[in-house]
Amino acid sequence: MYQLLCKHCITLCATYLTSFFLPLVGRKPFLAAWNAPLDMCMLKYNINVSLDLFHISGSPRAVHTGQNVTIFYANRLGYYPFYNEQGVPINGGLPQNSSLEAHLHKARKDIAHFIPSEDFRGLAVIDWEFWRPQWDRNWNKKYIYRQRSSELIAQAYLNVTEKQVQELAHLRFEKSAKEFMQGTLKLGTQTRPHGLWGFYLYPDCHNYNVHAHDYNGTCPQQESKRNDQLFWLWNSSTALFPALAIRKGHMDSIRNLHFSQNRVLESLRLASLTSLPYELPTYVYTRLGYRDEAMAFLTQKDLIHTIGESAALGAAGFVIWGDLNLTSSRHNCSKVKAFLNHRLGQYITNVTRAAEICSDLLCQSNGRCVRRDPQAPHYLHLSRGSYRILSNRNGTFTVTGQPSKNEWQMLADKFRCHCYQGWRYNLNRKAMLANQKPEKVSSRRR
C-alpha cells in the first residue's frame, strides 16, 4: 500500500512547475487563523472563549501589539490617502496628492509599534479598501478618486482637452497608487522579512453577480486580465489574502460554492505567476456569519463551501475575521462561544487534521494535498468509519483513529501531492518501488 501511495505522490508532485511555500507553522498544511476581537467577551462579560483551535490568532483592536495575525487598517499604517464617507480628503485624499516619503517614514514607526519583533513570523495584512490601484476598477463609491484626479489635472493644466485630462489623471493616479502599495509592501518585507505580507481582498475575482440566473461563479474575463496586470502587486507580496463573504440569501446553495471556489482558484492561479521560486501562499479570509447577517453563523454545508473548498483546492490556510458586533452583547459572546465549541470547532478540527493526514500519506509531510479535479466534490474530511472527533471541556477537540487501506486509495485517487519549496521526488523507478522518501534540495526563503 505504501508503494502505491508513493507512486502517486512521486509522479504527481513533479508535474507542478513551482512548489508551495513552506507552511507558516511546522508541517501544518492547512493553517487555521483567528482575527476577531473576542478578547472583549472576557473584558465586558467575563465570558472566556478558547482559541486553542487555531494555530495562530490576533485581535484587530488597536490596543494589541506583537500578535502573529496583525491587520493594518487605513489609520494604522503610515499616511494612507483617502476620502471619508463625507467626501473629506484624509492625508491628501489621493495617492498622487500625498507624500510617499512621509507615508513610509510614519509606516516604519507603525510597523515597529504593532510588530515589535524583527523575527516576526506571522501574517501581516494591509486593509486598504477605499480605492483600488487600477483606474477602471474605481466604480460606484470609489468613482470619487477618478473625479478628484481629473479635477487635479484640470486645475494644473488649463490648455488641455478633456480627453488629455482623463488620460493624464489615469496615468498619474495609477502610478502613485502603485508606488504607495508597492512601497509599503517593500518596507514591510524589509523590516519584518519573515512575516507574510499582503493586502486584504487581493486578489479579487469580482464574481459578485450571484443573483444572475446562470451564475456559475467564474471570474469575468476582463477582471482576470486586470488581475494579470497587477503582476507588480503579486510579485511584491509574500502572501495573498482573498476573501469569501457569502450571503445568507443563498444559504447552502451551489451559488455559494461557485462563488468561493472561483475566488480561491483565481488566487492560486495568480500565486504561481510571480518571479519567485515558489507559489505565494493563499490565506483565505472568511467569517463566522453571512455577509448580509453577521450573527447568523454559517451552516455545516457553507463551512464546506468556504473553509472546506479552500483546503481541497490547495490554499495554505484560512483566517476568520470579525468586528466588534460579535462582542457587542453577552448574548452575542455566548453565541460565538457555542459556535466555536460545537459546529465550527468540530469542522475546523476535521479539515485541518484530514489535511495533515493526507500530507503525511501522499507527501510524507513535505507537501500539500490538492484536488485533482478542481470542480470535483472531493474534500479533505475525516472518514466517519475510521475516526472520531471528541469534544473536550476546554473548547478543544481530540481526534482518535487511523486511516484504513480504502482511505489511502481514495486519497491517492482524488488528490495529488504538491511539494513544498525545497522538496522534490526522485523519479527513478527503483526509488519508487523502494518507497524512497522525498529528497531535500537547495532552497531559499524570501
3-state secondary structure the chain: CHHHHHHHHHHHHCCCCCEECCCCCCCCCCEEEEECCCHHHHHHHCCCCCCCCCCEECCCCCCCCCCCEEEECCCCCCCCCEECCCCCEECCCCHHHCCHHHHHHHHHHHHHHHCCCCCCCCEEEECCCCCCCCHHHCCHHHHHHHHHHHHHHHHHCCCCCHHHHHHHHHHHHHHHHHHHHHHHHHHHHHHCCCCEEEEECECCCCCCCCCCCCCCCCCCHHHHHHHHHCHHHHHHCCCEECECCCCHHHCCCHHHHHHHHHHHHHHHHHHCCCCCCEECCEEEEEECEECCEEEEECCHHHHHHHHHHHHHHCCCEEEEECCHHHHCCHHHHHHHHHHHHCHHHHHHHHHHHHHHHHHHHHHCCCEEEEECCCCCCCCCCCCCCCEEEEECCCCCEEEEECCCHHHHHHHHHHEEEEEECCEECCCCHHHHHCCCCCEECCCCCC
Position 427 scores a pLDDT of 32
Cell numbers linked to 35: 482575527
Stated pTM of the model:
0.92
Q: Is the pLDDT of residue 431 over 90?
A: no
Q: Which three cell numbers stand for residue 361?
A: 500519506
CA dihedral 393, 395, 401, 407 (to 10 degrees): 160
Phi/psi at 228 (5° precision): -60, -35
pLDDT at 423: 74
* Lowest-pLDDT choice from 142-156, 196-210, 220-234, 381-395: 381-395
Average pLDDT on 147-170 reads 97
Residue 438 predicted with pLDDT over 90 = no
**Closest alpha carbon to 435 in 358, 364, 368, 359:** 364
Portion of the chain with pLDDT greater than 70, in percent: 91
Q: Report how far residue 299's alpha carbon sits from residue 393's, in angstroms, rounded to the nearest whole number.
A: 23
Q: Say whether pLDDT at 2 is over 50.
A: no
- Provide mean pLDDT across the span 143-162: 96
Is 50 exceeded by the pLDDT of residue 444? no
CA distance 28 to 353: 9
- Name the packing angle between helices 100-114 and 162-191 (round to 10°): 30
Pairing of strands 387-391, 397-401: antiparallel
Q: Which residues are catalytic?
A: 129
Task: Give residues with Cβ within 8 angstroms of 316, minimum separation 6.
Answer: 20, 21, 23, 24, 29, 30, 31, 239, 281, 282, 283, 368
Quickly state the pLDDT bin for 42 (edges 50, 70, 90): very high
Q: What is the mean pLDDT of the segment spanning 279-285?
A: 98
pLDDT at 21 over 50: yes
Confidence (pLDDT) at 315: 99
Per-residue confidence (pLDDT) for residue 16, from 0 to 100: 53
More confident of the two residues 390 and 435: 390
The whole-number average pLDDT for the span 68-72 is 98
The pLDDT tens digits of the residues spanning 303-336 come to 999 999 999 999 999 999 999 999 999 999 999 9
Residues 6+ apart with CB under 8 A from 323: 36, 37, 60, 294
Around Cβ 26, how many Cβ atoms within 10 Å? Answer: 11
Tell whether the model's pLDDT for residue 191 goes beyond 50.
Answer: yes
pLDDT bucket at 436, cuts 50 / 70 / 90? very low
Mean pLDDT for the chain? Answer: 92
Is the distance from CB of 186 to CB of 237 less than 8 angstroms?
A: no
pLDDT reported for residue 432: 32
Mean pLDDT score, 413-420:
96
Cell match 467626501: residue?
A: 87
- Does position 12 have pLDDT exceeding 60, yes or no? no
**In the prediction, which pLDDT does 424 show?**
65
Give the pLDDT confidence score for residue 8 in this predicted structure: 43
pLDDT of residue 429: 29
- Torsion angle of the four alpha carbons 286, 288, 294, 295, in this order, in degrees rounded to the nearest 10: 180
Distance CA 355, CA 373 (A): 17
pLDDT tens-digit map of 81-138: 999 999 999 999 999 999 999 999 999 999 999 999 999 999 999 999 999 999 999 9
